[in-house]
């Protein structure tokens, strides 16, 4: 092959190319953007509509139902979920993952058009429904909690200044803020004074709007010059607002705002409250632009904020940093670097045992060249260094040197036979060119189907096969065109020092020869008893599969490495948020007393809402709801796991909560890895909420009987009671009052109405008109409200209406336009899996469904995610096998030899199963990825081994002799490639270079699977090859008894 000779004969150019690759790869590694996850679109769209002052049922009836009716007509939608709660409608739409990008764009445009088609939404909805496409660029990278012993005014000012600091960085997206109250001016009216002066509250609103003006009047052209004219009457202070004249009579007596109420500066009134470590806090969520570097941004923010605190001498300000995603990126970068260094050292040591120092160095050099070349290509393709691309680089680390070893070892063998350095480099490379190319292609084929996995999982994990494929292709180029040149240079140096080399050569041959002789004896024995040996391995494989089904769990993403969990609680429904806040303090005390300082970063109390994170679209809101977010230190920095910490406090928290009228106390964990549903999530769909709630309670009771199931609850929450104003239409008509006028007056009295704005610098501060606080808490005052009729007369509300009290609902959830209540629960993964619990409860639910015809049931959460993801992975696995078979059949021009080569794949799973059980790991999504990688890797050595058997048979050897010859020739290479891959993964399995539980299952599957598969490659593959020849011989003898007995049906290479 002339193409191989060119680089060997141009070593200066090749060495220069090597240096260039190392330099630009290093630069790319330093400059490539680092982020938590790849920047992708989630194929998810949200529609959010604010309907101030409306109950959950009103929001559902007048907003959500109408929007869903239009959205449901759009093609290409997989799922529509919604939440109608007090003041807001939230619709979550998941697009069909199988749509093309063009069709997805069309579907998003169709959603916007569908929303725009909805006319006649309530007038109180000032802003149109907001349609947003979700992407990873919107995800938080860190949360800052600001607290301390200071007035809220000071904390508000500090928060504003720190937000300005965060926004000043080019990497920063607009931060989110929570526990933060906007400035307002309140004009609080005394209803008795309104009656006394016979004034309607609407007059206050209109007068403020009329008198708060600054309007241009044009240009005055005078002899002295042109001047701009402006009529100025802007309100600036509370005194100006209080002294605003509402009305003046003919005697010149005026009524001012201060006569009927009071204007004052304030902060917006909310039903939510945040506390950090028991102190009132504001929380800033830092977000990154897609083009920003997460580590750079977090470092800048922390450094600048700490400097701001120091410069302003804010000793009383406490700042805590939680949910810091840069920590995971740093950790995995550390794992990647440390494991890379340890892996290279271990690989080099193993190479030195079998090869000369020079050739060992040449083979090991392939790893950094391929690694840095891959990072350079990633940079060119716009890929970032993130948790998933680093995962791929860690997994592929041990594979990168495999093809280099095969080529280097074969060149070394040719040199040991006495060939010149040039001829050894040429012949050694040519001999394994196609087998090595096939090994790379089969590994690529194993990973490629992962590009076809659908859904959000598919988008996230697509970075893994992309990086693996890039790395392997570069390693192939290095092994075939760069390594032979380096080998030639190295052998030329060795050749000049032959006398010194011969001493070492004899030592090396002795080590290799001893190991090879032991192997050949074992191989000869297994070939002699090949049927018994093969059947024994088959029996072990069948036993392993039975063992898996009986004793091992399957968990999509095991709850390991949990660093954040929430304690959610519910007070009686009529409880105001400030009282709920006090009820939660005993729980905070238990937390602070039972979690050691080295285990706890921070705990944040959220009053008035329950949510999984700040991006949770289905958060529940209500003054009686609360939760505490507990942020732990990294798991490897503390003795107890999150589960152990939870269980140590569970009984105490439940009992204390009960004593303080808190109920439905549940613990939820935020898992590492891609977002998945809860272990148990059972959907109840129907129309009658009472009937659905009754079904929910029955299922919850059933779940309580299953050991290992805990934190059982549903998402149906009772809300504030509704006071329904029922207007007597006949009386209203006689009084010349419209229903809309009644509703608007009541809304202004209670919720308040923004009349106008005060300009302070760049801020627009609203002036809100409403009743004073004590009158907003009184039913009688509401019924005494004065309604202005068409003649300008004031009529008491109680003269034309009465009221009734009804039980309210905190929120109403929909799933595909149907009402839904979702039951969720956690499980003890040591006792049972999500799949097992769902299977246990299915018969009970089936019986319930027969009795209650108005409801139906579906299974969601991890059970649904597992089914979809595993189905995609199984399909990917099957496709990988088919593509590998096609490559092998093409290479060997045989339909039977691929089965011999691929036999190591299923039997290699024996090692995976044993390793997972020994390491107490459940079968998981990442374990499956490791197995898919194993599929490609284990056939590599089999290809080269079978290729050498075929070549030996072409030279006239019989089956067993050919197998023994090939085993002798390939023993060193097979051992080296397997040992180097395993050693490259070993640091990751045991945390030698840094611990990462997220990556560990894939490393265990690939490492131990390959270790066991190596044993099979060296022994089982030759046995199966000879058994194949036996079968061909028997078939030949049966069909053609008079023909000459040969090894094969057609030729010695079939």
pLDDT digits (tens, 9 = 90+) for 180-239: 999 999 999 999 998 888 888 888 999 999 888 878 888 888 888 888 888 888 888 999
Mean pLDDT of the chain: 85
As a whole number, mean pLDDT of residues 74-88 equals 89
As a whole number, mean pLDDT of residues 931-954 equals 83
DSSP type of residue 62: I
- pLDDT over 90 for what percent of the chain? 33
Give 383-434 pLDDT, tens digit per residue.
888 878 887 887 777 677 778 888 888 888 888 888 888 898 899 999 888 8
Tell me what pLDDT residue 1053 has. 39
Contact status, residue 82 vs residue 90, Cβ threshold 8 Å: yes
CATH topology of domain 1-31+355-494: Multidrug efflux transporter AcrB transmembrane fold (1.20.1640)
Tell me what pLDDT residue 701 has. 92
Would you say residue 93 has pLDDT above 90? yes
Report residue 126's pLDDT band, with 50, 70 and 90 as the boundaries. Answer: confident
Tell me what pLDDT residue 534 has. 92
> 132-136, 351-355, 504-508: lowest mean pLDDT where?
504-508
Tokens of 891: 């290479």
> 302-311, 491-500, 806-815, 883-892: lowest mean pLDDT where?
491-500
Report residue 129's pLDDT band, with 50, 70 and 90 as the boundaries. Answer: very high
Q: Which CATH number fits domain 41-137+153-176+290-317: 1.10.150.120, 3.60.15.10, 3.30.70.1430, 3.10.180.10?
A: 3.30.70.1430
Report residue 505's pLDDT band, with 50, 70 and 90 as the boundaries. Answer: very low
Residue with the larger pLDDT of the pair 869 and 307:
307
Give 987-1009 pLDDT, tens digit per residue.
778 777 666 677 788 888 888 88
Give 842-851 pLDDT, tens digit per residue.
999 998 988 8
Give 141-185 pLDDT, tens digit per residue.
899 999 998 999 999 999 999 999 999 999 898 899 999 999 999
Tell me what pLDDT residue 118 has. 92
Angle among Cα 836, 841, 846 to the nearest 5 degrees reads 135
As a whole number, mean pLDDT of residues 871-889 equals 81
In CATH terms, the superfamily for domain 561-670 is Multidrug efflux transporter AcrB pore domain (3.30.70.1430)
Report residue 1052's pLDDT band, with 50, 70 and 90 as the boundaries. Answer: very low
DSSP calls for 400-456: TTHHHHHHHHHHHHHHHTT--HHHHHHHHHHHHHHHHHHHHHHHHHHHGGGGG--HH
CATH topology of domain 518-560+862-1054: Multidrug efflux transporter AcrB transmembrane fold (1.20.1640)
Tell me what pLDDT residue 499 has. 46
Tell me what pLDDT residue 672 has. 64
Angle among Cα 304, 310, 316 to the nearest 5 degrees reads 115
Give 26-63 pLDDT, tens digit per residue.
999 888 888 877 777 778 899 999 988 788 888 999 99
Would you say residue 576 has pLDDT above 80? yes
**Cα dist from 940 to 425, 436, 498, whole Å:** 21, 8, 34
pTM of the model: 0.77
Tell me what pLDDT residue 615 has. 65
Report residue 1042's pLDDT band, with 50, 70 and 90 as the boundaries. Answer: low
Per the listing, tokens 């001829």 go with 423
Residue with the larger pLDDT of the pair 765 and 290:
765
Tell me what pLDDT residue 138 has. 66
Give 602-614 pLDDT, tens digit per residue.
999 999 888 877 6
Whole-angstrom distance, CA of residue 962 vs CA of residue 960: 5
Tell me what pLDDT residue 504 has. 45
Tell me what pLDDT residue 143 has. 92
Q: Where are the domains of the chain?
A: 1-31+355-494, 41-137+153-176+290-317, 183-267+721-809, 518-560+862-1054, 561-670
Report residue 503's pLDDT band, with 50, 70 and 90 as the boundaries. Answer: very low
Would you say residue 265 has pLDDT above 60? yes
Would you say residue 23 has pLDDT above 50? yes
**Cα dist from 811 to 24, 130, 684, 688, 785, whole Å:** 56, 20, 15, 14, 29
Q: Say if 1-31+355-494 and 41-137+153-176+290-317 have the same CATH topology.
A: no
Tell me what pLDDT residue 843 has. 92
Tell me what pLDDT residue 298 has. 94
Range of 342-346, 420-424, 556-560 with top mean pLDDT:
420-424
Residues in CB range of 965: below 8 A, 6 or more apart = 948, 949, 952, 957
As a whole number, mean pLDDT of residues 451-464 equals 75
Q: Which residues are paired to 285 by β-bridges?
A: 143, 176
Residue with the larger pLDDT of the pair 144 and 978:
144
As a whole number, mean pLDDT of residues 762-772 equals 90
CATH number of 183-267+721-809: 3.30.2090.10
As a whole number, mean pLDDT of residues 797-808 equals 86
Measured over the CA atoms of residue 338, residue 339, residue 345 and residue 346, the dihedral's sign is: positive
Give 710-747 pLDDT, tens digit per residue.
889 888 877 777 788 899 888 989 899 888 888 888 88
Report residue 938's pLDDT band, with 50, 70 and 90 as the boundaries. Answer: confident
Would you say residue 447 has pLDDT above 80? yes
Whole-angstrom distance, CA of residue 1031 vs CA of residue 844: 53
- pLDDT over 70 for what percent of the chain? 93
């Amino acid at each position: 092959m002339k193409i191989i000779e060119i680089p060997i004969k141009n070593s200066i150019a090749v060495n220069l190319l090597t240096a260039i690759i190392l330099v630009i790869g290093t630069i790319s590694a330093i400059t490539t953007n680092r982020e938590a996850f790849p920047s992708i679109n989630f194929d998810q769209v949200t529609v959010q509509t604010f309907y101030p002052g409306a109950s959950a049922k009103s929001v559902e009836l007048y907003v959500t139902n109408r929007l869903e009716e239009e959205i449901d007509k759009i093609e290409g939608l997989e799922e529509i979920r919604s939440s109608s709660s007090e003041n807001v409608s939230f619709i979550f739409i998941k697009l069909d993952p199988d749509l093309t990008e063009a069709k997805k764009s069309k579907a998003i445009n169709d959603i916007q058009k569908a929303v725009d088609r909805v006319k006649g939404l309530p007038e109180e909805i000032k802003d149109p429904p907001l349609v947003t496409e979700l992407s990873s660029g919107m995800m938080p990278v860190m949360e800052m909690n600001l607290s301390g012993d200071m007035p809220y005014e000071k904390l508000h000012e500090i928060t504003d200044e720190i937000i300005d600091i965060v926004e000043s960085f080019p990497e920063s997206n607009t931060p989110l803020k929570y526990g933060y109250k906007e400035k307002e001016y309140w004009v609080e009216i005394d209803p008795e004074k309104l009656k006394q002066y016979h004034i309607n509250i609407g007059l206050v609103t209109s007068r403020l709007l009329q008198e708060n003006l600054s309007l241009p009047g044009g240009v005055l052209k005078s002899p002295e010059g042109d001047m701009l004219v402006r009529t100025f009457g802007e309100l600036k202070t509370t005194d100006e607002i209080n002294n605003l004249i509402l009305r003046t009579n003919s005697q010149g007596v005026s009524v001012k705002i201060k006569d009927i109420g009071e204007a004052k500066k304030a902060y917006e009134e909310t039903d939510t409250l945040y506390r950090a470590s028991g102190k009132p806090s504001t929380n800033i969520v830092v977000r990154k632009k897609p083009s920003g570097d997460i580590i750079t941004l977090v470092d800048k923010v922390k450094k600048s904020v700490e400097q701001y605190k120091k410069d302003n001498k804010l000793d009383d300000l406490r700042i805590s940093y939680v949910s810091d995603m840069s920590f995971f990126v740093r950790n995995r970068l550390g794992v990647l670097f440390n494991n890379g260094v340890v892996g290279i050292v271990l690989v080099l040591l193993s190479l030195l045992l079998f090869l000369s120092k020079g050739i060992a160095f040449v083979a090991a050099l392939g790893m950094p060249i391929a690694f840095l070349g891959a990072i350079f290509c990633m940079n060119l393709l716009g890929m970032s260094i993130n948790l998933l691309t680093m995962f791929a680089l860690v997994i592929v680390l041990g594979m990168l040197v495999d093809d280099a070893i095969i080529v280097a070892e074969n060149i070394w063998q040719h040199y040991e036979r006495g060939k010149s350095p040039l001829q050894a480099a040429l012949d050694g490379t040519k001999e394994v060119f196609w087998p090595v190319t096939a090994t790379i292609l089969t590994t690529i084929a194993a990973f490629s189907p992962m590009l076809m996995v659908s859904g959000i999982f598919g988008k996230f994990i697509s970075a893994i096969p992309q990086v693996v494929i890039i790395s392997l292709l570069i390693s192939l180029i290095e092994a075939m065109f760069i390594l032979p040149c380096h080998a030639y240079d190295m052998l030329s140096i060795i050749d000049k020092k032959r006398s010194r080399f011969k001493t070492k050569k004899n030592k090396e041959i002795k080590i290799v020869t001893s190991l090879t002789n032991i192997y050949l004896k074992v191989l000869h024995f297994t070939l002699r008893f090949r049927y018994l040996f093969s059947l024994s391995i088959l029996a072990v494989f069948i036993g392993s599969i039975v063992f898996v089904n009986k004793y091992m769990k399957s968990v999509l993403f095991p709850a390991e490495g949990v660093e954040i969990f929430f304690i959610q609680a519910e007070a009686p429904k009529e409880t105001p948020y400030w009282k709920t806040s006090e009820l939660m303090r005993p729980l905070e005390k238990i937390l602070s007393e039972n979690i050691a300082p080295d285990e706890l970063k921070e705990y944040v109390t959220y009053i008035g809402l329950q949510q999984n994170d700040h991006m949770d679209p289905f958060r529940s809101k209500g003054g009686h709801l609360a939760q505490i977010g507990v942020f732990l230190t990294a798991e490897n920095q503390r003795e107890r796991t999150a589960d152990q910490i939870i269980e140590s406090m569970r009984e105490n928290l439940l009992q204390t909560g009960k004593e303080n009228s808190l109920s439905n106390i549940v613990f939820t964990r935020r898992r590492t890895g891609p977002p998945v549903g809860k272990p148990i999530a059972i959907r109840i769909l129907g129309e009658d909420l009472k009937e659905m709630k009754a079904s929910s309670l029955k299922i919850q009771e059933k779940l309580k009987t299953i050991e290992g199931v805990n934190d059982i609850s549903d998402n149906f929450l009772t809300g504030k009671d509704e006071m329904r104003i029922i207007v007597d239409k006949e009386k209203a008509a006689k009084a010349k009052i419209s229903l809309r006028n009644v509703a608007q007056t009541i809304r202004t009295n209670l919720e308040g109405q923004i009349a106008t704005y005060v300009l302070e610098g760049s801020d627009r501060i609203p002036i809100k008109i409403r009743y004073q606080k004590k009158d907003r808490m009184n039913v009688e005052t509401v019924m005494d409200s004065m309604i202005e009729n068409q003649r300008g007369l004031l009529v008491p509300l109680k003269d034309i209406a009465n009221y009734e009290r009804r039980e309210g609902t905190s929120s109403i959830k929909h799933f595909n336009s149907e009402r839904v209540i979702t039951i969720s629960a956690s499980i003890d993964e040591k006792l049972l899996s999500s799949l097992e619990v769902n299977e246990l409860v299915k018969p009970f639910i089936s019986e319930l469904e027969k009795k209650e015809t108005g409801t139906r049931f579906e299974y969601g959460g991890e059970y649904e995610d597992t089914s979809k993801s595993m189905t995609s992975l199984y399909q990917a696995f099957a496709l990988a096998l088919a593509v590998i078979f096609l490559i092998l059949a093409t290479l060997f021009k045989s339909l039977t030899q691929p089965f011999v080569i691929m036999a190591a794949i299923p039997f290699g799973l024996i090692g995976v199963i044993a390793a997972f059980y020994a390491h107490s790991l459940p079968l998981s999504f990442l374990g499956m990825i490791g197995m898919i990688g194993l599929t490609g890797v284990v056939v590599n050595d089999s290809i080269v081994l079978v290729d050498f058997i075929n070549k030996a048979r072409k030279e006239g050897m019989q089956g067993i002799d050919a197998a023994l010859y090939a085993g002798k020739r390939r023993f060193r290479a097979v051992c080296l490639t397997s040992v180097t891959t395993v050693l490259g993964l070993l640091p990751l399995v045991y945390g030698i270079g840094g611990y990462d539980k997220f990556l560990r299952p894939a490393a265990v599957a690939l490492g131990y699977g390959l270790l066991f598969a190596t044993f099979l490659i060296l022994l089982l593959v030759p046995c199966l090859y000879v058994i194949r020849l036996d079968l061909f011989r028997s078939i030949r003898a049966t069909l053609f008894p008079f023909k000459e007995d040969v090894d094969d049906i057609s030729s010695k290479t079939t």
